[in-house]
Structure 1
Amino acid sequence: MRHLLTLDGMPRATVVELLDRAQHFADLRGDVDALKGIAACTLFFEPSTRTRMSFQLAAMRLGAHVLNFDVSTSSARKGETALDTMRNLEAMGVRGFIVRHHDDGAVAQLAAAAGEGTALLNAGDGRSNHPTQGLLDMLTLRQAKGDDFARMRIAIVGDVKHSRVARSDLHALRALGATDIRVCGPAALLPEAATLAGCRVTHDLDEAIDGADAVITLRLQRERMEDGLVESLDGYHRDYGITEARLRSAAPGALVMHPGPINRGVEITDEVADGPRSLILRQVANGVAVRMAVLERLLAARG
């Protein structure tokens, strides 16, 4: 695996290997030197908190030298392209690029132009892919519910159409053999049929949650209301907000996940987000372990 651009089409065995290695790092106390002497750069063209910080921490725990690219103070403000930025950093000896970009396919384009010894890792591009989020969500589910994904009933709720997280979760769930995947949201926020192949699609939240073992709720970007795709934030919460009352029809021990950042009182109530059902902070913690596993896989042989 030279780059990690998507989970779409990734073999089950590879997904499981990455999850197993991530679990090793989650259980590990202390740092390792697997990437000692290797330089990696977080090349982010979009704002980020959890993803950027966890990648930085993951690389540091592996012993890498970490460069943090800040688009607001870089030559990108003077018109330098992402490709020229990458090539200049490659010339300095950087061998790993962790890239977040607002355009679909931008990371794949950079990967196609990268030098022989360079690895790219997609930290989120447009609406398309967020592979490490997909992996950390699967690790979190596996820790909480076991490794038999074929027996799990998973509901994904919200703005699936614009969510790279939802797409990567769907890719990973299919790879791991999940067969009962419910997708729920307003009609205007659901994607094309091909994205939802094999899923049970509904606009009724109660139907989606009924008997579910886990509910993955997605962030609603407020511009969706401005675009007329959502009538109001209050209306969205009424129809699709995750509350304790709504969760009474879920399976006993049902758990709730959210990729963050949370719009409290819109996608989810405080009572759920901060309550015993919530796996949200475990997702954040698992992000470091998953990103250590992926960085090691891509970069350990490049020193």
Structure 2
Amino acid sequence: MKTLMPALLLLAMGSAQAAPIAMEDQSQLKVPGTQVTPQFVPPAESAIPDNAFGKMIREGHALFVDTRRLMPDAVGNGMNCSNCHLDQGRMPHSAPLWGAYPMYPAYRKKNDKVNTFAERIQGCFSFSMNGRPPAADSPQMTALSVYAYWLSTQAPTGVEIAGRGYPEVPKPKDGYDFKRGKQVYDEQCAICHGGNGEGQKVAGEYVMPPLWGRDSYNWGAGMHRINTAASFIKYNMPLGKPGSLSDQQAWDVAAWINRQERPQDPRLVQGSIEKTRLKFHANDGVNLYGQKVDGVLIGQGIGG
């Protein structure tokens, strides 16, 4: 993989920062079958111009692949943007930036408003990164937006592009099974993400992201949905072997991962898991938030 720098894989704010936004995850958007443009190819890194604009593209790239280290005030866990948007935001079927940027501004039903691309990124910081979003007009947000814009060079505007999101993997007719999911995890995932989902560190920095626990995505992130995680896993994991798992295996392991505890949903309603479930999770795909599994209430959260 060609990179500009070494790297790897959604609270109230102060007046200088934007308020957290309850964002619907990019991956929840369905990928159409035939009514899409041919697969888009983003520009090569060698095409970055040698001027002030190119410098900002490189700054955005650096923030994207090394988010946790370069934006410690905005990231509250062990994740980088590139953990969910693989190959530096380039890879098809991994929610690539070139498939997202041309579709904004866009109306989002979940927060009932038209969202800018900056607001979409802020949602990722609130949930996937379990952090505090930078202001929409901050230098970091500008750089990230410029990087996404550049990757979208010559992409059609407002048109679904093949490879845009995480392709939907239908739920198996017999549902999912936690026991089978644990077996898949132990055999296929633990080598990178750890036996307890803790990720993998080198010199104190995560090189493989944690999948549950205090340093993973929180209960408000789109990836907490079993259907979303199954789609990401099916088309992108294990790393270097996308598509090697069956639909059933992808759903099983996604269910196992998402029955584990993680940081609380920052939208927690009056301290109540049940009220939060009813408002934000009851109609949000397939998820376990607020349900009991083996007598244990899921969604209690893990503090920092």
TM-score (norm 2): 0.27
The structure whose residues are more often strand, as a share, is 1
TM-score (norm 1): 0.27
The structure number with the bigger radius of gyration is 1
The structure whose residues are more often helix, as a share, is 1
